[in-house]
Amino acid sequence: MEQLSSVLTSYPPASASSTSHKQQDELARVYLSAIAKLSASNKRLILEQPEAFLKLLDPAKNSIGYLFVLNTILNASEPRIGRPSLLDAIVVFLLSFDPIQVRYVGNYLLPLLEAVGTGKLFPPQVAVEILATAMLRLDSNASMFTSTHLLLATYAYETDCVEPALKVLERDITTYPIAAQKEQRFLCDPELPLTSFISVQTGLTAPVKATTVLEYDFIRGLIYMSRREWTKARKALERVIAYPTKDKGVSKIMIDAHKKWLLVGLLSDGEAPQFPGYTSAAAKSAYNIMASGYREVASTFSSPKAIDFVNEVISNRPIWLEDGNVSLIQEVQVAYQKWQILNLRRIYREVSIYKIQESTSSGETGEPLANPQQVISLVQSMIDSKALKGEITVGPDSESFLTFQGEQEWSSEKDFAGEIAQAHHNINLLSQEYKASNERLSGHRDYVRFMIRELKRADKDDSDAGGFDAQIEDEDLMNDIVHHG
Amino acid sequence: MGPSSDLLAFFSRMKSQGAIIVEDLPKFDVESYISNYQGRTRFDRLMLLGESSVPLCVDALKAAVVEAKNGRDVGRYRGAWEYIRVAAPNEPEAIRDNAWIESTETANKAETARLEVELKGYRNNLIKESIRMGNEDLGTHLEETGHLKEAAEAYGRMRHDVGTTKHIVDCAQHLVSVALQRRDWVSVISNASKVSGLQATDLERDLQPYLKAVSGIGQLGLGKYHEAAASFLQINSAGSLESLQGLITSNDIAIYGGLLALATMDRKDLQTKVLDNPTFRTFLEHEPHVRKAISQFINGRYSTCLSTLEVLQTDCLLDLYMQKHVATIFTRIRRKCIVQYFIPFSCVTIQSLDEAFGRGGNSIEDELASMIRDGALSARIDSKSKLLVAVSTDPRAKMQAKALNVARKYEHEAKERLRRINVIASGLEVTRGKRQTDEHWYEGERTSVLTG
């Protein structure tokens, strides 16, 4: 016991912070091999008094050791620890582990995260919260995609506990795990780029495939749809449909995302969305073939002829059923008239309720609303939900009017300056990321090979050109003849 | 006397076929109108009157039957007879002249065969000029008997054996004539432009009115009103107008050019290119109404301008080339008048607009709404105070909005591109080969994940 405790607590040494990265790395590796070599009897010792060992170690300082003990307990068939205390220990660990230390024990951490993310340990609300927090501890921007991302999104969506997951889901992912990567620096270097420590080798992510990424964004789209955040949903789905492809490949997830994207675009912008410029041509043509019905609905959505729209919706009902988009189509139908009313702001400054009733129709029945009261309540609900900026006033003949208000997003110069500064800041951050990517890719094997080939060719061209000049100088035919003659 | 029941039945059929029906009496009668034109266009015009004009229908169809029987085109006779049989079954022309049909058909077939044999003979002799003339004769014959597609092919073959500039012009004119009858506007324009490119000065001067007129008609047919207006306005009245005979009259040129200009040009261009244009003025003199309407528009008397034009509308609706475009052109002119009327104001009562432009007691509000929707008018309607208010843009706010928009868009795009770089760098693109396994995955997942 004594000996075991001294092994487990031997890292990190008290003086660790002052040592160099190299020494730290060595220490960590020595420690790792020491605990890996612990005999079965030692492990049994841990299992006999698990709580004592957990108490012995500080999860924030002795993260490696703590995780090792946790792992040993979790792998045991009958741990002698009450479930509440074990779960407490896991929560404490996941909320406070040292993000540098765990880089060495990804193969222990990932199974733990997976156990949390499949709901084996905690109720959903807790599981999602601590999983998201742990992910942010590992990568504070959550800008690198891992297999855990999909796990989190799927679990949050399935259990309908989305709120605590949003802090991860809303981050922009810009990097992805890279297979083989030569890294001179040490794992404990805090400056180390994400791609160098979050990888399959360190065990911090399981292997990621294209479908993993697509599914993640697709589920994000579904999550935002369930929250009725249409613009965010559209952007998430847009990532799926514009996903890079090669050899004219198109995934079925992309096709399905495109269908939803068309409808969500109608909900968020009131008109059919446009493909991003970088959508691949093969994907576009596949979408156009596969999305019959959806395109018709999208094109009739912005026309004032409600009956055309309703007919398209009704006649394509089998398609909605087959694709499981019935409820989304219903949302679109409800939104139809709202957008018709919103579009009136481009024509009117003040418009009578009677006029709204006359000139817009319901997307569900294709008929105008039956009486002005229904129009007023619809408009009022739009104003209340902040979809419409305006107010209902009563005119001279006690007729009600809707007054549209300006759409400016900011109210003062200061706000505007703030917005611009924010945008500037974001772009600056991005350019740093660009630099990092550029640096990383410059060292990529394929690129280096390509550069070498280019250089060789340039050399060859140069020598060719030089040779030709030289030849001209040499090519003194008369001399030649004289010489031979 | 109202129209007879036969006539009503005829027009309800025409309407169902998509013809434009004009019930008002035009300013001309059939006889005097058709005497202005020559050649095959006469029949087309008579048929159009028959189809569209309620008061002139019977007269026009009778004349059309006579016109068809004067020629050799059996198809035309049949068409005219079909119409008159329904519209006026009691007229003598409504009895089908089978003897004429048979004899003409036989004669036509024999003539076609003869010309083809002749042409074959010329081909065997390899004399270019004869082959060209043989093709021309065959083309003319086919055109006269109504085989327009074959005629165009025969005329097209003439081009292989052209010798002089004159030949090229002949060939192009034949092709233009057929294309006009076939309503093939693109071909009209392209054949006309082939001649314009010849750079034979005296020929060009003689042909200028013809070329400009046919290109104008072609552009009008394609709905390119601005270009068409420019073509008509350039017709040189000093040039030889003989080449226009049978095609369009000076009055037509004035109306086409004037209305199209009014629909597409701004006030300054109307003054300099139309009213002050010495060559076009000669044409305008034939149509004082058009001239008046243009000067009224320039002087800002929009409502009188529109009522002046109203008079012309009926006649235009019965014009062979103008008919289909009348509604669009007149709407454009009307919208332009409303826009011009509104320009100096920041705010106008709807009532005053109703006074100036109102039609038959209907308020102009709906029309304004559709103009704003189409982007023709930059204003907002205030239904409460019954005002039309100009959109006052705050340039500063606009600039700020634009700047923010650009920044956000840039950020978004940069981020997406960075993602793509890294997706590709990690080798995570979707490839063709993965598709199968992908679907397999998907079907499995769908039941578990997506139903939630």
Q: Which of B425, B426, B430 sits opposite A245 (nearest CB)?
A: B430
B390 has which bridge partners? B379
Distance CA B24, CA B314 (A): 7
| Distance between B342 CA and the closest CA of chain A, angstroms | 15
State the pLDDT at residue A181: 65
DSSP string covering B165-204, please?
HHHHHHHHHHHHHHHHHTT-HHHHHHHHHHHHTT--HHHH
Q: Say yes or no: B345 contacts chain A, CB-CB below 8 A.
A: no
What pLDDT is attached to residue A256? 93
Kindly state the tokens that stand for B451: 């139903």
Of how many residues is chain A composed? 485
Whether B425 sits inside 8 A of A433 (CB atoms) is no
Question: Residue A174: pLDDT above 60?
Answer: yes
**Using an 8 Å Cβ cutoff, are A147 and A212 in contact?**
yes
A459 by Cβ neighbours in 10 Å (0-12 / 13-18 / 19+) ranks as exposed
Tell me the count of A-B CB pairs closer than 8 A.
163
- Residue pLDDT, tens place only, A336-348: 999 988 888 888 8
DSSP string, B95-132: S--HHHHHHHHHHHHHHHHHHHHHHHHHHHHT-HHHHH
pLDDT of residue B356: 81
Residues 6+ apart with CB under 8 A from B268: none
| Binary contact (A351, B424; C-beta < 8 A) | no
Chain B interface test: which of A145, A200, A251, A438 (most B C-beta within 10 Å)? A251
> Which pLDDT belongs to residue A315?
92
| A224-264 pLDDT tens trace | 999 999 999 999 999 999 999 888 888 899 999 999 999 99
pLDDT (0 to 100) of residue B71: 86
Q: Which of A118, A171, A172, A176 to mutate to test the interface with B (most CBs of B within 10 A)?
A: A176
The H or E element spanning position B234 is helix B225-234
Please tell me which of the candidates A219, A403, A427 has its beta carbon nearest to residue B414: A427
Beta carbons of A393 and B438 less than 8 Å apart: no
Chain B (379-418) residues lying within 8 Å, Cβ to Cβ, of chain A:
380-385, 389, 397, 400-401, 403-404, 407-408, 410-411, 414-418
* Mean pLDDT, range A137-141, rounded to an integer: 86
A36 pLDDT above the threshold of 70: yes
Give the count of alpha carbons within 13 A of A194, CB side only: 22
**What percent of chain B is modeled with pLDDT above 70?**
92
B419 — contact with chain A (CB < 8 Å)?
Answer: yes
Q: Name, in order, each residue with C-beta under 8 angstroms of A139's C-beta and a sequence gap of 6 or more.
A: A194, A198
Residue A240: CA atoms inside 13 Å, Cβ hemisphere, count? Answer: 30
The answer to whether the Cβ–Cβ distance between B416 and A242 falls below 8 Å is yes
Using CB atoms, pick whichever of B385, B418, B429 lies closest to residue A434: B418
Percent of chain B as helix, strand, coil, to the nearest 5: 70, 5, 25
Compute the nearest-CA separation of B37 from chain A (Å).
Answer: 45
Q: What is the pLDDT of residue B385?
A: 82
CA-nearest residue of chain B to A351? B383
Place of tokens 């208010």: B389
Q: Do A427 and B452 touch (CB under 8 A)?
A: no
Q: Which of A246, A395, A420 lies closest to B429 in CB terms?
A: A246
pLDDT for residue B361: 66
B406 touches B398 (CB < 8 A):
no
Do B408 and A423 lie within an 8 Å CB cutoff?
yes
CB contact under 8 A, A349 and B434: no
Instruction: Please report the residues numbered 256 through 295 in chain B whose beta carbons come closer than 8 angstroms to any beta carbon of chain A.
Output: none
User: Does B238 reach chain A within 8 Å, measured CB to CB?
Assistant: no
Question: Given this model, what pLDDT does residue B241 score?
Answer: 67
pLDDT value at residue A159:
93
Average pLDDT over residues A276-292: 89
Q: Would you state the pLDDT for residue A77?
A: 75
**Which of B80, B69, B137 is closest to B103 using CA atoms?**
B69
Which residues in chain B touch residue A346, judged by CB atoms under 8 angstroms apart? Answer: 372-373
> Can you give the length of chain B in residues?
452
The interface pTM score, or ipTM, of the predicted complex is 0.81
Give residue A128's pLDDT.
93
Helix %, strand %, coil % of chain A (to 5): 65, 5, 30
Q: Are A230 and A211 in contact (CB under 8 A)?
A: no
Q: Say yes or no for a CB contact (<8 Å) between B383 and A424.
A: no
Distance, in angstroms, between B425 CA and closest chain A CA? 8
Cβ contacts (< 8 Å) between B431 and chain A: which residues? 210, 245-247, 249
* pLDDT band for position B441 (cuts 50, 70, 90): very low
Task: State what percent of residues in chain A have pLDDT above 90.
Answer: 26
If one counts every other C-beta atom within 10 angstroms of the C-beta of residue A461, the result is 10
* pLDDT higher than threshold 60 for residue B17: yes
- The proportion of chain A whose per-residue pLDDT surpasses 70, expressed as a percent, equals 92
Per the prediction, chain B carries an average pLDDT of 83
- Find the mean pLDDT for residues B374-386: 84
Confidence of residue B434 (pLDDT cuts 50, 70, 90): very low
Asked if A174 lies within 8 A of B401 by C-beta distance, the reply is no
State pTM to two decimals. Answer: 0.72
Contact B433 A249 (CB under 8 A): yes
Structure confidence by residue, pLDDT tens digits, A307-341? 889 999 999 999 999 998 999 999 999 999 999 88
What is the 3-class SS of B287-320, one letter each residue?
CHHHHHHHHHHHCCCHHHHHHHHHHHHHHHHCCC
How far is Cα A49 from Cα A45, in angstroms, rounded to an integer? 7
Mean pLDDT value across residues B113-128: 87
- B423–chain A nearest CA distance, Å: 6
Q: Identify which of B383, B393, B390 has the alpha carbon closest to the alpha carbon of residue B347.
A: B390
Query: In angstroms, what CA-CA distances link B217 with A401, B188, B226, B398?
Result: 49, 8, 12, 43
**CB-nearest partner of B439 from A213, A252, A419:** A252
* Residue B239: predicted pLDDT: 64
pLDDT tens sequence across B324-341: 898 899 988 988 898 888
| Weakest-pLDDT range from A113-127, A445-459, A464-478, B425-439 | A464-478
Inter-chain contact B382–A348, Cβ cutoff 8 Å? yes
Q: So what's the pLDDT on residue A238?
A: 93
- What is the C-alpha to C-alpha distance for residues B393 and B400, in angstroms, rounded to an integer? 12
Q: How far is CA A396 from CA A380, A404, B346, in A?
A: 20, 18, 23
pLDDT in tens, B162-217: 878 888 888 888 898 889 888 889 998 888 888 877 766 666 677 788 888 889 99
pLDDT-derived band at B93, boundaries 50, 70, 90: confident
For position A435, what pLDDT does the model report?
A: 87
Higher per-residue pLDDT: B241 or B83: B83
Token pair, residue A22, equals 């190299």
Query: With an 8 Å Cβ cutoff, are B419 and A174 in contact?
Result: yes
pLDDT single digits (tens) A452-476: 898 888 887 665 544 444 444 444 4
The rounded distance, in Å, linking the Cα atoms of B70 and B46 is 14
Q: How much is the pLDDT for A482?
A: 46
Question: Which residues lie across from B83 on neighbouring strands?
Answer: none
Task: Report residue A45 as tokens.
Answer: 């010792």
How far is B366 from chain A, CA to nearest CA, in Å? 10
Rg (CA), chain A: 32
Interface with chain B: mutation pick from A199, A348, A402, A422, highest number of B CBs within 10 Å? A348
**CB pair distance less than 8 Å for B423 and A440:** no
A contacts of B384 (beta carbons < 8 Å): 350, 352, 393, 395, 401, 403
CB A128 within 8 A of CB A164: yes
For residue A107, pLDDT over 80 is answered with yes
